[in-house]
Every structure is written in C-alpha cells, then in structure tokens.
Amino acid sequence: MPRPIRATISVSALAHNLELARRHAGAAKIWAVVKANAYGHGLARAARALGGADGYALLDIEEAVRLRSAGMTRPILLLEGFFDASDMPLVCRHGLTPVIHCMEQLAILEAAPPEGPIDVYLKVNSGMNRLGFTAASAPRAWQALHRHPRVRSITWMTHFADADGAEGVAGQLERFGAMTRALEAPHCLANSAALLRYPQTRGDWVRPGIMLYGCSPFPDQNAADLGLRPAMTLRSEIIGVQRLQPGERVGYGFDYEARTAITVGVVACGYGDGYPRHAPTGTPVLIAGRRASTAGRVSMDLLCVDISGIPDAGAGTPVTLWGEGLSADEVAAAAGTVSYQLLCALAARVPVSEIA
Ligand SMILES: *Cc1c(COP(=O)(O)O)cnc(C)c1O
C-alpha cells in the first residue's frame, strides 16, 4: 500500500468556477490563469477542465509550448512576456501573446523582430509599482509597438494591488484611464477579486486565477458565499494514535502540552507534502468529516490532531487537510497565509488523481 496521502482535482468544480467567472465577466473574454502549474492543480489537466476559457495565461514559454503540444489552440498570454531575444522564435511559432512591460523588451522586439505577426499586451504601472510602463514612458512604448511592422494588435493591461482589500481599485483605475485614454486599444485589468467585486474593471479581457480553483481572493468573504467550489482536496489518514496524560507533550520542540487527558491522531501529512509548517496548534482539520484541530508542530511527514472529541477515530480514519468540506482559505488564514500559497505548494510526492 502506498502512503495514504493523496489529492483529488475535481474537473466539474473547475468548470463550475469558470462558469461563475463567465457570468461575472459579461461580454469580456476570459484568460484562465494557469501559472504555477495551474495553482498546483496540474497545467494540462486544469487547461483541459477549463477548456471553456477564451485563452490561458501563464509565465513560462516552455509551459505554453506544452499546452500547444497537448493540442491547445486558444490564445496564450505570457504574463511576464519574453525574457531574452532567443525566446522570440517560440513566441512566434506558437502564436503566443507576450506582455511587454519594460524598455528592455521593446529593445528585444526591435533587435530580434518576430518572423511573423504577433499580438502583444502593453502593461502599465498604475500604482502597484511592480511591472509596467509609467505614465511618462507608456505613450512612447505604445508608439514603438504601434509602428512595429510585426505587431498585429496591442491591448492595454494593468494589475491591481488591492482589489481584494480595503483600498479597492478606484485610484488605479483612474490612473490607468488617464494613461491609456488617448491611445485606443482593448483593455485587460481584472484579477479574480476585481472581477468579483468591481464590474467597472471588466474591460475586454479578464484574468481570473484563484477563483477558478474555488478559493476566495477576499479575506472577508468566503468561497462558498461567492458560489465557488473547491477544485483540490488534500486527504490522508490517521496512521497512529497516542493517549496523552495531563502534562505530556507532543511533537518537535515539545511545543504542545496536554492540560487534560487527550487522544492524539497522527496524520500522514507534513510540510514535505506541502502542508504549511507554520500552521499553529488549532489549525482546522476534518476527521471523517468532523472538525478537529492540529496540536503541536507540523513535521515533514506527519502532523498531530487532537481527536479527543471523536471517540471512534483511529488508525485508518480519513482526514481532509483542505478542499471539500474545509476551505483552503480557512486553513491558510489559520496559518497566516493565503490559499494561493497552499495550493501552489502541493508537493510533487503527493499522488494526484482527477475526479468528475
Ligand atoms: C496571478 C495573476 C492574475 C490572477 O490573479 P488571481 O488573484 O489569482 O485571480 C492576474 N493577473 C496577473 C498579472 C497575475 O500575475
């Protein structure tokens, strides 16, 4: 028997979440964001399940080529564009749409022009101050692309820093408008949070990621209330049981001490599987569908759960770490992080299977 940990990816949940994104997007087209191995769900698998999207957005040209080899013919957006002149033949041959966010990329386009026509996204920095042209440089970039003989189309793009937070999108939206108004082209702005909360950001294309995987981008609104279904469920089993007397402790550093007599279920899952090591005592877990919480430090291959309230639990009892019945958002919040990180961190050693 293999170690009992495994992850399932629900194809119908992915399709359902895409449908929800579609309803929010209205007439806008959808880039399904499949970067980071489709947020840990498997690139090819997620791309297939999200086959109703209008295109896919990711980072590595090599991943884009893999999608093309798997027969995907929809547009593919390279969120950080190309990194070197040597990337250009692949961009061209596979019909990829690079984001152009800096002068160096413009220089590459001039020095090593693609052999055929390409579509590009012109990214502007509307306040996040990560990637993108400033108000001062954007018009020059637009002109350079506009007169480039191989650039077939330009789409304006920006990214929001706080669509999921208190500040929202108003300031960035206004700056984006001011930067792009005079130069007519389609717009692409919204991540999941903007798509769900700010219909005024829809533009011509939207770029949802996390919502497609069934997690909420918002700290103050849960995925179920948004109508989302978790796509990934991480499950394992209890493989050992310890009965602790008051004063006895469990795990590395003896971090957790029993105040009363408790029963500890030892679960075959640890940070080597992608479970967050910094998840503190009290992080929620489902034991045969019932809620319990972790006790003591997460180790590489194991974590401990107080199962005192679940008398029939023992070796072989199924455990859900996150997914169906326990949102990764909730586990992430308990661990002081976001579901994005949990999903992306699913380790290669965890067997993954696809379910309907
Ligand atoms: C990751 C990413 C997205 C998707 O963001 P979510 O919060 O997962 O919806 C959209 N646009 C860009 C540029 C990104 O890097």
Euclidean distance between CA atoms 218 and 213, whole angstroms:
14
Q: What would the mean pLDDT of 271-283 be, rounded to a whole number?
A: 98
Query: Exactly one of 35, 39, 121, 213 is catalytic; which is it?
Result: 35
Task: List pLDDT tens digits, range 169-227.
Answer: 999 999 999 999 999 999 999 999 999 999 999 999 999 999 999 999 999 999 999 99
**Cα(304) to centroid of ligand 1, in Å?**
34
Task: List pLDDT tens digits, range 226-257.
Answer: 999 999 999 999 999 999 999 999 999 999 99
Q: Is 252 a catalytic residue?
A: yes
Closest atom of ligand 1 relative to the 191 alpha carbon: 9
Mutate to test the pocket of ligand 1, among 39, 79, 205 (most ligand atoms within 8 A of CB): 79
Query: Exactly one of 29, 56, 213, 252 is catalytic; which is it?
Result: 252
Q: Where in the chain is CATH 3.20.20.10?
A: 11-213
Query: What number does CATH give the domain 232-355?
Result: 2.40.37.10
Euclidean distance between CA atoms 246 and 228, whole angstroms:
42
What is the overall mean pLDDT for the chain?
Answer: 97
In this prediction, residue 87 has a pLDDT band, given cuts at 50, 70 and 90, of very high
Euclidean distance between CA atoms 81 and 102, whole angstroms:
10
**Cα(58) to centroid of ligand 1, in Å?**
9
Q: What angle do CA 18, 21, 27 make, to 5 degrees?
A: 115
At residue 156, the pLDDT reads: 98
Closest atom of ligand 1 relative to the 195 alpha carbon: 9
In this prediction, residue 102 has a pLDDT band, given cuts at 50, 70 and 90, of very high
- Statement: residue 67 has pLDDT above 90: yes
At residue 31, the pLDDT reads: 98
**Cα(345) to centroid of ligand 1, in Å?**
17
At residue 136, the pLDDT reads: 96
At residue 143, the pLDDT reads: 97
Q: Which residues pair with 97 in a beta bridge?
A: 77
- Statement: residue 319 has pLDDT above 90: yes
Closest atom of ligand 1 relative to the 157 alpha carbon: 13
Residue of 326, 324, 274 lying closest to 303 (CA atoms) = 274
Tokens standing for residue 195: 């798509």
Task: List pLDDT tens digits, range 7-47.
Answer: 999 999 999 999 999 999 999 999 999 999 999 999 999 99
Query: What number does CATH give the domain 11-213?
Result: 3.20.20.10
Q: Helices 138-146 and 103-111 sit at what angle, rounded to 10 degrees?
A: 20
Task: List pLDDT tens digits, range 324-342.
Answer: 999 999 999 999 999 999 9
**Cα(314) to centroid of ligand 1, in Å?**
41
- Statement: residue 1 has pLDDT above 90: no
Mutate to test the pocket of ligand 1, among 33, 39, 221 (most ligand atoms within 8 A of CB): 33
Q: Where in the chain is CATH 2.40.37.10?
A: 232-355
At residue 242, the pLDDT reads: 98
pTM, two decimal places: 0.97
Q: Is 147 exposed, middle or buried (0-12, 13-18, 19+ CB in 10 A)?
A: exposed
- Residues enclosing ligand 1, CB less than 6 A? 33, 35, 79, 159, 191-193, 207-210, 217
Euclidean distance between CA atoms 268 and 273, whole angstroms:
9
**Cα(34) to centroid of ligand 1, in Å?**
9
At residue 88, the pLDDT reads: 96
The set of residues, in sequence order, having a beta carbon less than 8 Å from that of 40 and lying 6+ positions away, is 232, 274, 343, 344, 345, 346
Q: Is 35 a catalytic residue?
A: yes
Q: Is 323 helix (H, G, I), strand (E, B) or coil?
A: strand
At residue 244, the pLDDT reads: 98
Closest atom of ligand 1 relative to the 164 alpha carbon: 7
- Statement: residue 93 has pLDDT above 90: yes
Helix (H) / strand (E) element for 176: namely helix 170-180
